[in-house]
């Protein structure tokens, strides 16, 4: 039997890399499609790829699709709805602040995952974990308290932190859904959950836009080429996230996902030409140290 104890770390790093690329693509689409439109791209153009992944795995393994029980649906509902809200908040925050700093705000998510795990799952919160939370929070404060941004610096911080909280709830919801699927492999459980989640999200946002703003749906259809690539990268990132959730706790996965901050910093510098100030860099270091400490204390 293959030892899979290390696979969650590999899946997490691959997911973080794919997600950084998708975030950059969505950021560019926001200008033409708006926040809701760019949010919808990852779901509408992502679910066909998720269905392809599921079909390929079923054909290659010969394993039947899982039969979800009653508890699967509340968990998947929390995951899907929280992720929709988180993605919209993330894109809104990116429109107001440096790409890398926005990612740093959102990367307080592992801290929030630990707190939600304590509240909803009864997970332990040890003293080292509490210290990690304080350090990571201090990093966010350092980044947000620039004198030149006193009038508007709080908004991007609030958007980023709230997005991180929604991503944290989403991670817990998805992992909970995956764990309810018994008598199947972790690959099938993760892929099935991803496919169901993306189909639900695509349907919900399509219905919302059809009622509230059909022009956005038309704009999305016209931008199908870049949207298709963003959907592929989003589905690929989600596939690796879900595989990692099937093997390790949400707090462990989302903590290691901090490597995305490094990927985002490279994107910010070489693609968007943005610079990180010394104060922001120090804050990112604090957030990084806090979340890594959280991983060691887990």
Strand ranges, E, within 134-214: none
Domain assignment present for residue 245? The answer is yes
Show the domain range for 256: 7-124+153-273
The pLDDT of residue 55 is above 50: yes
| Residue 97: per-residue pLDDT | 57
- Number of independent structural domains in the chain: 1
Q: Which residue has the higher pLDDT, 49 or 97?
A: 49
What pLDDT is stored for residue 73 in this prediction?
97
Q: Check residue 184 and give its pLDDT.
A: 93
How far apart CA 16 and CA 84 sit, in angstroms, is 18
* 251, 171 Cβ separation under 8 angstroms: no
Residue 95, in any domain of the structure: yes
| Strand intervals (E) in the chain | none
Least confident of 8-12, 54-58, 163-167, 269-273: 269-273
> Computed from CA positions of residues 27, 30, 32, 38, in that sequence, does the dihedral angle turn out positive or negative?
positive
On whether residue 58 sits in a domain, the answer given is yes
CA–CA distance, 251 with 149 (Å, rounded to integer): 32
Q: What is the pTM (predicted TM-score) of this model?
A: 0.81
What is the share, in percent, of the chain residues with pLDDT greater than 90? 32
In this predicted model, what pLDDT tens digit does every residue of 263-281 receive, in sequence order? 666 666 677 677 777 877 7
The string of pLDDT tens digits covering residues 128-160 is 877 887 787 777 667 655 555 444 456 767 787
What pLDDT, on the 0 to 100 scale, is given for residue 50? 96
Q: Is 5 helix (H, G, I), strand (E, B) or coil?
A: coil
CA distances from 252 to 18, 60, 207, 273 (A): 19, 30, 35, 32
Report the pLDDT value the prediction gives residue 198, as an integer from 0 to 100: 95
Distance CA 5, CA 248 (A): 9
Least confident of 5-19, 101-115, 243-257: 101-115
Q: Please tell me which of 32-41, 43-52, 289-298 the model is most confident about, judged by mean pLDDT.
A: 43-52
Q: Which residue is associated with the tokens 């509230």?
A: 212
Check residue 103 and give its pLDDT: 64
Task: State residue 145's pLDDT score.
Answer: 57
In a domain, 265, yes or no: yes
Q: Rounded to whole angstroms, how far apart are CA atoms 292 and 149?
A: 29
Higher pLDDT, 36 or 201: 201
Supply the mean pLDDT for the chain.
81
Q: Is 89 within the bounds of a domain?
A: yes
Cβ burial 14-31 (10 Å sphere, 16+ → b, else e): bbbbbbbbbbbbbbebbe
Work out the percent of the chain whose per-residue pLDDT is above 70. Answer: 82
Tens digits of per-residue pLDDT, 202-260? 999 899 889 988 888 888 888 888 888 888 988 999 999 999 999 888 887 887 777 77
CA atoms lying within 13 Å on the CB side of residue 252: 19
In a domain, 181, yes or no: yes
- Residue 291 maps to a domain: no
Q: Is residue 268 part of a domain?
A: yes
pLDDT at 119: 77
Which of 153-157, 195-199, 275-279, 288-292 shows the lowest per-residue confidence on average (mean pLDDT)? Answer: 153-157
Averaging pLDDT over each range in 1-15, 66-80, 148-162, which range is the top one? 66-80
Q: Which of 79-93, 204-218, 275-289 has the highest mean pLDDT?
A: 204-218
User: Nearest to residue 16, comparing CAs of 191, 186, 253, 199?
Assistant: 253
């Amino acid at each position: 039997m293959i030892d899979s104890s290390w696979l969650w770390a590999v899946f997490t790093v691959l997911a973080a890399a794919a997600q950084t690329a998708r975030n950059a693509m969505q950021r560019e689409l926001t200008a033409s499609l708006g926040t809701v439109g760019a949010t919808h791209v990852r779901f509408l153009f992502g679910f066909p790829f998720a269905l392809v992944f599921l079909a390929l795995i079923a054909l290659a393994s010969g394993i039947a699709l899982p039969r979800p029980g009653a508890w699967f649906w509340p968990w998947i509902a929390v995951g899907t709805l929280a992720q929709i809200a988180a993605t919209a908040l993330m894109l809104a925050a990116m429109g107001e602040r440096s790409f890398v700093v926005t990612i740093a705000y959102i990367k307080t998510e592992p801290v929030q995952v630990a707190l939600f795990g304590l509240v909803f799952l009864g997970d332990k919160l040890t003293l080292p974990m509490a210290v990690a939370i304080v350090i990571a929070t201090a990093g966010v404060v350092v980044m947000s308290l620039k004198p030149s941004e006193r009038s508007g610096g709080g908004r991007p911080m609030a958007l980023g932190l709230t997005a991180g909280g929604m991503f944290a709830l989403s991670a817990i919801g998805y992992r909970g859904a995956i764990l309810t699927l018994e008598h199947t492999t972790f690959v099938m459980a993760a892929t099935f959950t991803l496919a169901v989640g993306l189909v639900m999200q695509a349907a919900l946002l399509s219905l919302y836009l059809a009622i509230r703003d059909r022009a956005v749906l038309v704009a999305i259809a016209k931008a199908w080429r870049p949207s298709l690539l963003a959907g592929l990268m989003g589905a690929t990132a989600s596939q690796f996230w879900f595989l990692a959730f099937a093997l390790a706790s949400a707090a462990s996965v989302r903590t290691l996902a901090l490597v995305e901050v490094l990927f985002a910093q490279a994107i910010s510098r070489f693609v968007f030409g943005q610079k990180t100030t010394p104060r922001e860099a120090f804050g990112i270091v604090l957030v990084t140290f806090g979340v890594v400490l959280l991983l060691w204390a887990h």
